[in-house]
Structure 1
Amino acid sequence: MSTIKAVRGTRDLLPPETELWNRVEGVARKVFERYGFGEIRTPLFETTELFVRGVGEETDVVSKEMYTWEDRARAASEKAQSLTLRPENTAGVVRAYIEHKMDAAGGLRKLFYIGPQFRRERPQRGRYRQFWQIGAEVLGPVSSGAESAVRDAEVLEMLASLLDELGVKGWRLEVNSVGSSTDRPRYVAALRAALEPVKDQMCEDNRRRAETNPLRVLDSKAPEDQEIINGLPKIADYLDEASKEHFAQVLKALDACGVAYHVNPRLVRGLDYYTRTTFEFTVPDGSGLGTQNALLGGGRYDGLSEMLGGPKAPGIGFAIGEDRLILILQEQAAEQAESKMDAYIAPVGVEQNAAALALARELRRDGLRVEVGDGSFRLKKSFEAADKVAKAVVILGEDEVASGNLKVKRFATGEQRDVSRTELGAYLHGDQ
């Protein structure tokens, strides 16, 4: 009988990797709290119509990547309903905003989410068919200031702070404006016209995109098409004065906050709901993601609420690919030391096993992360086991139990010293 394995494009998350996932999510929650965000949890599946209307029928997400099925009617009076596992969460958050009349209070709503999304795309490093996102949305009525450029800059400054606190090295913020709901159609028309005489010279994907969603051509990484893409019209030449001023205010606020950025005229993002400010945070090509080096992205979506049948509610949001974020942190080894336990207690002889467990209980109550060895191990084996999982090893033999003075070795420095049991917790915390 063959062994059953996880579905292709999915995976299990196991310790100790899950410890890093929990740490990342914990840091994100703390940062979001400082900026006034509250958590929202939407269903894993929604009506297919939500994504067709919100994300766009001609986008790759809707046309090729969604997991959709017909939910059979359970009674003669009911109709079968088309349902879809959520491929992204912005549309669902805005749907919840409308359904629960979250605009009634009149102020800004700042919402964040952490959870799985689903896309049937080609698996590649850092991308899975069930993947996790950390995201946030800011939206509200016009009277709340949701349309202001300061909201865009605040979100970008928050993301810069979050990546710094997580220890992501070498991130780069790329920004652009795709203009208003009237600017964008004019630009798409010009892009279509420019692509018409050259599209047959491009790769198969870009030939298709030139017909269905020309903006996606600008995102293409196909090396053979770059010369053509570089010669296409720029969105900046099609912005009205209001959109130009809005973007200028975003950049001015980022300058004031000291957040470095790069204006990328090719950054348009292909989902239908984006307007004005769009952005991506990328990492260097050597960070484990190859040429697909985007870590997170987002933008403004001032007309999405109306597209879904709701009130006017300008908004801006983003989504972080958590799988890719974890991969980057692992590749950059930013958390190598922190991923280890604080201490490994090595009992000398099985007679000390119970005392080792009692000591571990004391230290864990003190907030330390502690692993306990087995007294049947030779001391050399205990040291080898400890070095793999902990920052320090605590030797607990008969003499140490009797005297209360324990031998402790830190692996990073090689320092070894006697520490009294009463001071052990402070020493392992780094207070001594």
Structure 2
Amino acid sequence: MFEEIRNSDIVQERALLVAVYGPGTPRVQAEEYLDELELLTYTAGGVTVDKVLQNRMHPDASTYVGSGKLRELKRMAGEKNIDTLIFDDDLSPTQIRNIEKGTKAKVLDRSGLILDIFASRAKTAAAKTQVELAQLQYLLPRLTRFWTHLSRQQGGIGTRGPGESQIEMDRRMIDKRIATLKDKLEKIDQQRQTQRKGRSKKNRVSLVGYTNAGKSTLMNALTETEVLAENRLFATLDSTVRQYEIENHDILLSDTVGFIRKLPHDLIESFKSTLDEVRECDILLHVVDASSRMTQDYIDVVEDTLEDMDVDDKKSVLVFNKVDLLDSHKITELKHRYPDAVFVSAERNIGLAKLEDEITELIEEDYVTKTMKIPAAKYEGVAFLHREANIIEKKYVGADVELTFSIDKPDLMRLETLLDNNDAAESVA
């Protein structure tokens, strides 16, 4: 699916991908999952040489694939010059040790691969701290195997992050480092909370979705800015916030890390401060890759993750992106299955006006329209409305100012309190 990088300075690891699926999973779905693992491998800098898909009742407790398949993997690794075996499930320390012993190859499981990608993607101090914490928590129960593994292998996929300089660390030192990182993240979280308080009056909209659904491209299209957007998984780790306006409503649009099937729990926990943009927003835009054959699976993964985060009750819009890659029959089918969804192409600016109408409608669900006559001398109330409300009509009636405006309910209560204190206004409608 992916070509090797043609660069003499880059030596890509040659990977053999392995997955086991049971009787409850159709083979075509298992193949899609293995394709996703190939994209993860490509994102990490490896090249997939071959794939092995095994149908069995359940993974073998000792070797994941069973002794016969393990011998086959050893043969394939030798014949095809395989550097690394990558498995589409999390492996126990015992399974990893037995597979490495049986195949004489480096072994990496799904969580280790995802964590390695996050380590290579982390650019800011916050992201690097979050990733290192998740990696150390992942490594701690695998400590003995990992140190042996690193003493034999020099770098490569699955070895970035904490790195070889920590080979001599014992459990006590790692525990101490984990505590230090947690303290550091707590301070980062407090700083971000302070930043969010400063923009609490804005309408906050968050983009969520399966990784590589096109969230960053959609943010660029809506806000006319340049956020990194590329065709690799987890292009965005830190939350990115941009301000723009829709129908006189000030919007703060945030783009956050993409979700994925079997996202490591430690990673979700360590990225809490980043995901707080999702927890504290007013509206969610759930972006889905319409061109994928796994749309419902991807929707389910995101919805399950949002439920785990206790944010599944927020106002939301289901947004199918990349519709320019579909034929009319497929679009009709999706519209029938998801009648409330919005269909866009962020790349080609298709359907964005409809999406903005949906956002405006959700914002204005909590708005009321009022007409008030306020004495011009009572500038506090007039200034408040110009600052917090959408002014629809303004006219002078003698010494008074008559304003028709749209305002959200909490601000209306603040206005009424202000005007009651001043005994200054007459409600016209």
TM-score normalised by L of structure 2: 0.22
Higher relative contact order (CA 8 A, sep 6+): 1
TM-score normalised by L of structure 1: 0.21
